[in-house]
Amino acid sequence: MQRRGQGKNGARPGIAPPPDTKSFRLGWHDCTAPLLVNRRRVTIERIHMPFLIAAKTYLDFIAHVRRLSAHSVAAYRSDLSCFAARYPGAPAELTMGMLTEHVIWLTRERGLAAASVRRHAASLRSFVRYAVEQKLCEPALAAWRPQLKRPRRLPRPVSRVEMRQLVATSGRAGDLVVTAILLMAGTGLRISELCALRVGDVEPDARSILILGKGARERVVYVANANLRDRLRSLMARKSDGGAPIDSSSPLFYARDHRSLSAAALRRQIRAHAKRTGLVRPVSPHMFRHSAATWLIEEGIDIRTVQRLLGHASIATTEIYTHVADRLLEQSLKRVDVLRRVAG
């Protein structure tokens, strides 16, 4: 397997090249791009130039130094644009009151969910810490940390019954989708990681796959299921439109034109496939990742092993799956009720 994460000129695949410092763009988008703020369309032209430059350099930093994914950079760009449209001053003019008021506005005026508000606040905290390090704003702002309620939501895995229903009927049109479902449920891959896979990332025997995850962290996942290994080898052995074998840089999961299959396209295909199989509740790709973790913990796999498989930076993120397994155990005990026959 070849090492992932570097492209031409040392850039990470999927990340745009650094923008021209002489062009006034916020995160590689034209400064006149429209935004929707408080139900009114505004443009980034209203942002004071110092903040525009600070935001742009910060986005460059997280993309090319911290090497965050393109999806994460886009989320930071969106959150900073929302704040900057309401507070067009320079970073030196920022106060804790401004930051806190913005969080309150997101909750009361925009009505965002708690998880979305937490993301906006995290984006602002990260930018402010960067601005403090660069001496762009008051050092005291580095201590800003709003006390936000953390929503307690357990992951929703796909049940084994639902999984059998999804993979039982595929047909030629659904083979690629079923392979993607099996791979996510068998290894815990994120959909972005799956769509970024290249043929060269998979060992010839399809027993292991090199993954480039969040934060440019590499890990290896292992494919234990023989049927899934056969499916992966079939994808690797396919021919190009011209009849020639594909090379190691070709996408493993591909669209009709043999280009990389996008995450959005795969989500649509999974929803359509689930509907064809008669599945009642909607399913998302991340639910298969939840299933992988939950099933492993139910089978007694050490939580540290599950953490490595999923690529979690913190064990606390993985521990939530122990609660899911406990809940399923409780439901099973209630369903069996071993004392019912002897104690009434």
Annotated catalytic residues are 190, 214, 286, 289, 312, 321
Q: Which residues contact 336 (CB under 8 A, 6 or more apart)?
A: none
Q: What angle separates helix 171-187 from helix 285-298, to the nearest 10 degrees?
A: 50
* Identity of the residue numbered 259: R
Question: How many C-beta neighbours within 10 Å does residue 339 have?
Answer: 8
Question: How many C-beta neighbours within 10 Å does residue 303 have?
Answer: 15
Question: How many C-beta neighbours within 10 Å does residue 330 have?
Answer: 10
Token look-up 């494919």 returns 223
Q: Which residues contact 321 (CB under 8 A, 6 or more apart)?
A: 155, 290, 293, 294, 297, 303, 306
**Nearest Cα residue to 102 out of 130, 88, 90, 138:** 88
Q: What angle separates helix 315-336 from helix 285-298, to the nearest 10 degrees?
A: 70
Q: Determine contact, residues 211/205, Cβ cutoff 8 Å.
A: no
Phi then psi dihedrals of residue 60, to 5 deg: -60, -40
SS3 of 72-108: the string is HHHHHHHHHHHHHHHCCCCHHHCCHHHHHHHHHHHHH
Q: What angle separates helix 160-168 from helix 171-187, to the nearest 10 degrees?
A: 150
Q: Determine contact, residues 252/197, Cβ cutoff 8 Å.
A: yes
* Rounded Cα–Cα distance for residues 5 and 27 (Å): 21
Both structure tokens of 101: 């008021």
